[in-house]
Structure 1
Amino acid sequence: MNALTHQFPGLERIRDRFVDLLEDRKNIIAQHALAAWDGETTDEINDNLKHAQNILHQIAGSAGTVGFHELGGTALLCEEQIIAHLDGPYADLAICPGEIIWCVDTFVKACATITGHA
C-alpha cells in the first residue's frame, strides 16, 4: 500500500476493479485493431479504430488516477495515433497504418505486465 492509498481508502478497491477490467478491455482493443488491420472497407476500418480509441480514451483518463501512469501514457499515445489517422489525409482510404498496430501491441504488452496475462 502506498501513501496515496492511505489518503484515499477507497482507492485500493477502485484500483483492483481497474485491473480486473483491464484484461477484457485490452482484448477488445486488440480485437478492434486487428479487425481494422484486416478490414476491407473504409467504414469497417475506421469504425473499429473508433471503438478502440473510445476504450483507450477511458483507460488513458483513469489509469493515472489509480497509479498506472505509464499505462495511461501508452493508452494516450495509441489514442493520439488513431485520432491522427482518422483526422488525417488517409482516413478516406481503406488502410490501417502499421504504426497503430505497433502502438496497440505496445499497449497490450504494458497491460500484461499489470494483469499478469500475456
Structure 2
Amino acid sequence: MNAAALELPGLDRIRARFVELLDDRRTLIAQHALAAWDAETSEDINGNLEAAKALLHQIAGTAGTVGYPQLGSAAQQCEAEIIAHLEGDYADLAVCPGEIIWRIDGFVAACEEVVAL
C-alpha cells in the first residue's frame, strides 16, 4: 500500500475498528482450530475448519487495505491451507492436519502483535 492510501480520511477509524474486531476474531479462529484438532468426526473437523476459513477470508480481504499486508498474507496462507485440506483426498477422514494448526498458531501470534500496538 502506498503512503497516500494510508492517509485517506477516516482510515484511522477503520483501522482501529479492524484491530478491535481482530482481537475477537483471532480468539474464534484459535477456538475453531483447537475444536477441529480435538474433534472425532470429519464433519466436526471440517465444520470447524470452514468456520475458521470464513473468518480468515474476512481478515485476508481487509488487512492489507488498512495497513497490515503481512497479516493479510498470513490469513490468506491459512485459508489456502484449509481449502487444500477440505478439497483434498483426506477431507472425509477424521483427521485435522497438523500443518493447519501450525499455520493458524503463527497467524494468531501475528494478530497478537497487531492488537498489542
User: Normalising to structure 2: TM-score of the pair?
Assistant: 0.95
1:103 aligned residue: 103
TM-superposition CA deviations, 1:57-101 (whole Å, max 9, x none): 000000000000000000000000000000000000000000000
Query: What is the Cα deviation at residue 4 of structure 1?
Result: 2.8
Report the identity percentage: 61
Two-structure CA RMSD over aligned residues (Å): 1.2
Query: What is the Cα deviation at residue 46 of structure 1?
Result: 0.2
Query: What is the Cα deviation at residue 116 of structure 1?
Result: 1.4
Q: Does 1:59 align with 2:59?
A: yes
Task: Extract unaligned runs of 5+ from structure 1.
Answer: none
Query: What is the Cα deviation at residue 20 of structure 1?
Result: 0.5
1:19 aligned residue: 19
Query: What is the Cα deviation at residue 12 of structure 1?
Result: 0.8
2:77 and 2:14 map into 1 onto residues whose CA distance is 24
User: Normalising to structure 1: TM-score of the pair?
Assistant: 0.94
Q: Does 1:79 align with 2:79?
A: yes
2:5 aligned residue: 4
The ranges of structure 1 where at least 4 consecutive aligned residues each deviate by more than 4 angstroms after the TM superposition are none
2:36 and 2:28 map into 1 onto residues whose CA distance is 12
Query: What is the Cα deviation at residue 113 of structure 1?
Result: 0.6
Task: Extract unaligned runs of 5+ from structure 2.
Answer: none
Q: Structure 2 counterpart of 1:4, which letter?
A: A
2:68 aligned residue: 68
Query: What is the Cα deviation at residue 5 of structure 1?
Result: 3.6
Q: How does 1:31-50 map to 2 (within 5 A)?
A: 31-50=31-50
2:93 aligned residue: 93
TM-superposition CA deviations, 1:22-67 (whole Å, max 9, x none): 0100000000000000000010000000000000000000000000
Report how many aligned residue pairs link the two structures.
Answer: 115
Q: Does 1:30 align with 2:21?
A: no
